[in-house]
Amino acid sequence: MSGDNALKTRILHLLELLTVNFWMIPLLFLVMATILSFVNIYLDRVLFTGWGEILPFPFYFKDADNFHSLLSLTASAMLGVTGVAFSITIASLTLASQQFGPRLLRNFMKTQFNQVVMGFFIGTFLYCVLLLQFSSTLEEINLTPVISLTTLLGLIITDLLLLVFFFHHTAMSIQADTIITEVHQELSERLEALFPETLETSEHLPAAALQSQEHERFETQGDVVRVQQAGYLQAIDVTGLRDYVTEQDMALKLAVRPGDFLMQNCGLGWCLNQDALDEAKQAAINSYLIVGNTRTAEQDAEYAVRQLVEIAVRAMSPGINDPFTAITCIDRLGNALAFLLNRQFPAEQYFDENARLRLQLKPFTFSGIMAAAFNQIRQNTAFHVAVIISLLETLRSLAAQARTPEQQSAIRKQADAIHVACQDEIKARADLEDIKACYQAVYRFLPVPSNSQ
């Protein structure tokens, strides 16, 4: 069972990597073009040999020279169009990297429409080249390439339409609103997958009384588990890891979570074990962690959040000075946080059937995600009154929906930090009064802290 879950995690990780590879779909189109050219010429040889003399008009292109000229012309044109499309793609990637940040290149590379267009272009080119080879004896066997020619004409029409749509799509894809919408959509999908709907009960709650006892034992009595491969922690096979430590009669506490960078030989966590933690067990624990050179979004709840933050921070830089883009990012971040207000965060503790703690994870928290969403924007927005007001209005909307003390405390902490940060930077009294009014509006939806007088 543990092996099945580990395989599932590896497969999901592989699919995540394939979605950001630009070559995958074009490669499939090349394979399809190879098969299509062979099948079409074979069917033409079987079905339409000698038909040109019976029905000459529909089969005008049975002439070998005309057919070969059309194939050569199409192949040359497709190669040129592919070069133009590739140049436009590189130019748009360069512009996006400079204005919105290099990490946004991943979103452009995973756009399936661009991959399909490039696949059609190079697939048509390969189809023409292969047909030139397969139909080299066209006149000798009196072959009329009906199916091959019909397919070729269909590909030409499709390529021309795709070229027009490609220009339109490229012009739309480099607009700030489009990029922000796509990043927000990915963020929503990740949050939907990582954070389940709120439940009345949870399986890990009955044994929660053991939390404080085990928490102290891990760091004082546990053996340190070392990292064996440096890089970003991309995913954890939680089910497989839980089953392994249960089978070995161990308890494990991880001090890292997806998105963290692991340094070679640094502490990964602590393990409570009756026997010594040997190299084999260390390697086994590390095998349930997927480590790579870059951060990925598959289990990292803050990945897409940081993409929106990067767009907002760059928009407020002196070279760009676009507060409207920053406000759009804040609106999207606020919507994502509002989604989390009514969601249950994944369990951080896993117990066996005897209510013994087996696995303790480093959890994502609402306050942590809110800090990742707003801290850098707040720190770079001291002079932008409109952005400050947008932050406070977003916090007011979140405060009206907050249900737990943690959520209310995180909102209060952000509101206080924003209000304090702008006091020394904003000089106009009218602006300060507007900011103060928004700040007070946030507190109208928050209960008074218990330690306040």
**Which pair of tokens denotes residue 129?**
């080249």
Closest by CA position to 251, among listed 264, 239, 240, 241: 241
Domain end residue (candidates: 118, 148, 174)? 174
Residue 153 lies in a domain: yes
Residue 198 domain flag: no
Residue 10 lies in a domain: yes
Helices marked H in 142-296 — which ranges? 146-173, 176-194, 211-221, 238-247, 279-287
Looking at the structure, tell me whether residues 130 and 256 fall in a common domain. Answer: no
Do 11 and 140 belong together in one domain?
yes
Residues 377, 310: Cα–Cα separation, whole Å: 9
For residues 12 and 132, membership in a common domain is answered with yes
Residues 287 and 314 in one domain: no
Q: What is the pLDDT of residue 204?
A: 41
Please indicate, yes or no, whether residues 37 and 170 belong to a single structural domain of this protein: yes
Number of CB atoms found within 10 A of residue 272's CB: 19
Residues 22 and 79 in one domain: yes
Q: Are residues 110 and 52 in the same domain?
A: yes
Q: Which residue has the tokens 């304090």?
A: 420
Question: Residue 37 and residue 131: Cα distance in Å, rounded?
Answer: 6
Pair (226, 243) in one structural domain: yes
| Residue 418 included in any domain | yes
The domain tally of the chain equals: 3
Residue 96 maps to a domain: yes
**136 and 217 housed in the same domain:** no
Q: Which domain holds residue 235?
A: 208-292
* 348 in any annotated domain: no
Same domain assignment for residues 95 and 168 = yes
105 and 77 housed in the same domain: yes
Same domain, 151 and 85: yes
The pLDDT tens digits along the chain (453 residues) read 444 445 566 666 566 666 667 778 889 999 999 999 989 888 887 777 655 555 554 555 556 677 788 888 899 999 888 888 888 878 877 777 777 777 777 767 677 888 889 899 999 999 999 988 877 665 555 667 778 888 999 999 999 999 999 988 888 888 888 888 888 888 888 888 888 776 444 444 334 444 545 566 777 777 888 998 899 998 888 888 888 888 888 888 898 999 899 998 888 888 887 777 888 888 888 888 988 888 887 788 888 898 899 999 988 888 778 889 999 999 999 999 999 998 888 878 888 888 888 888 888 889 999 999 999 998 888 678 889 999 999 999 999 999 888 899 999 999 999 888 887 777 788 888 888 999 999 999 887 665 544
User: Residue 381's pLDDT is what?
Assistant: 81
